[in-house]
Amino acid sequence: MISYGYSLHIQSAVYFSRSFDILNSISNYIVVYDQILNPQYIEHACAEAKLFVPWPSGESTKSLSSYAQLTTHLTPYVTRDTTLVAIGGGTIGDLCGFVAATLLRGIDWIFFPTTLLSQVDSSIGGKTGINCNDIKNIIGCFYPPKITVCHADFLKTLPIGQLQSGYVELLKHALMCDKQLFNDLDNHFKSLNDLYDVGKLEKFIEPSVRLKLKIIGNDFLEKNYSDRIFLNLGHTFGHGIETLSNFTIPHGIAVGIGIIIAYRYAIIQGLNSFDDLEKIIDHFNRLSLPISCTFSAQDMISVMSHDKKKNKDGIRVILPKGLGQGCVIQNLDSTILEKIM
């Protein structure tokens, strides 16, 4: 049996200046960071790094060409005792994690997620990967960072779209696995302005992360069709929306629309009530989160037929059963999706 343990640090705002102290005990590390970050700050915080590599973020960076360019650039500087330090959002983490997993058949890596989405979701669970042939995350592996450091102060400079995108993933955890957490979010986040309140967000980062860790703990490799699969709520639909928009619709926003589609589908299947859907739509509206898209059911199905969660029975999707529970359907019914879209 293989163990996939790693260290998670969720730090209080008062310790932001010490966020990078964990690197003091590492003698050989290189840093890859989102090129939109302040290079002077990164170089000061990671003063002992052997190499600094600014790298573009966004879905376009999760490509075979980007992977090849980064590995080619790093290879002359990497030995088996090198640690790769990644600083950025989810796409930087996905790419750097896959690079770390494959350089020299695996070197240690540390992740400092700087977006809300990466802090509450993509940095937790060990998934790394890149896109290929317009299919999200079709190439990749499970390779968790040795240490993940989450700090809410990174969120202070995020644009509202990034905060909305990350908040959807936080909300997803609650909708699938914790009704009380959803009620707490609904009570605390009443308007778009509440997403700017980093102190308020910080209160929910840790419980959301702990919830995800608890869910993935018994099925790290996602092989046993355990509760971990419910964390894909909205994602099959969402990945279709992302792809059809040529990734102009951010991941979290697309997943949010996918969640609404999943609830509508569940109502038609008799799995959910209109009351739950109305409550969720009201919550989305208060936070100015989109609840629909213009793509046709036919186009959605065409893209989703390539989704990596598809199996021999058809397009597999996660549906909600009320608030805090879910189920899996093994073959998406195109006629139902046409009614919804």
pLDDT at res. 254: 97
Categorize the per-residue pLDDT at 217 as very low, low, confident or very high, splitting at 50, 70 and 90.
Answer: confident
Q: pLDDT (tens digit, 9 = 90+) per residue, 92-116? A: 999 999 999 999 999 999 999 999 9
The mean per-residue pLDDT over the stretch 254-278 comes to: 95
In the predicted structure, residue 14 carries a pLDDT above the cut 90: no
Q: How far apart are CA 126 and CA 148, in angstroms?
A: 11
Give me the DSSP letters along 200-260: HHHHHHHHHHHHHHHHHTT-TTS-S--GGGGGGTTHHHHHHHHHHTTT-S-HHHHHHHHHH
Closest CA to 134 of 55, 232, 245: 245
- The first and second tokens of residue 262, run together, are 């999943």
Q: What does the pLDDT read at residue 229?
A: 87
Least confident of 23-32, 75-84, 222-231: 222-231
> What is the pLDDT at residue 4?
43
| More confident site: 309 or 52 | 52
Distance separating alpha carbons of residues 230 and 325, to the nearest angstrom: 8
Tell me how far apart the alpha carbons of residues 25 and 33 are, in angstroms, rounded to a whole number: 20
Is the pLDDT reported for residue 302 higher than 60? yes
pLDDT confidence of residue 9: 72
Tell me which CATH code domain 7-157 carries. Answer: 3.40.50.1970
- Distance, in Å, from the CA atom of 37 to the CA atom of 26, rounded to the nearest integer, reads 22
Whole-angstrom CA distances from 171 to 189, 204, 289 are 11, 10, 12
* Strand segments (E) across the chain: 7-11, 29-34, 51-55, 83-88, 108-113, 127-132, 135-142, 147-151, 317-320, 326-329
Contact 135, 305 (CB under 8 A): no
pLDDT digits (tens, 9 = 90+) for 50-67: 999 999 999 999 999 999
For the chain, the domains span 7-157, 160-340
- Report the chain's terminal Cα–Cα distance, integer Å: 45
Whole-number pLDDT of residue 224: 67
Q: Using alpha carbons, select from 120, 139, 150 the residue that is nearest to residue 252.
A: 120
Work out the pLDDT band at 280, boundaries 50, 70, 90: very high
Region 159-172: mean pLDDT is 96
Percent of the chain exceeding pLDDT 90 equals 74
Predicted pLDDT of residue 311 = 75
Task: Please say if the pLDDT value at position 86 is more than 90.
Answer: yes
pLDDT of 3: 33
Q: For all residues of the chain together, what is the average pLDDT? A: 91
What CATH number labels 160-340? Answer: 1.20.1090.10
Check if the beta carbon of residue 11 is closer than 8 Å to that of residue 151.
yes
Q: What is the pLDDT of residue 2?
A: 31
To the nearest 10°, report the CA torsion of 177, 3, 67, 238: -10
Give helix 235-244 / helix 297-304 axis angle, nearest 10°: 110
pLDDT more than 70, % of the chain: 94
Q: Kindly report, residue by residue over 175-213, the tens digit of the pLDDT.
A: 998 999 999 999 999 999 999 999 899 999 988 988 888
Candidates 2, 251, 219, 258; CA nearest to 106 is 2
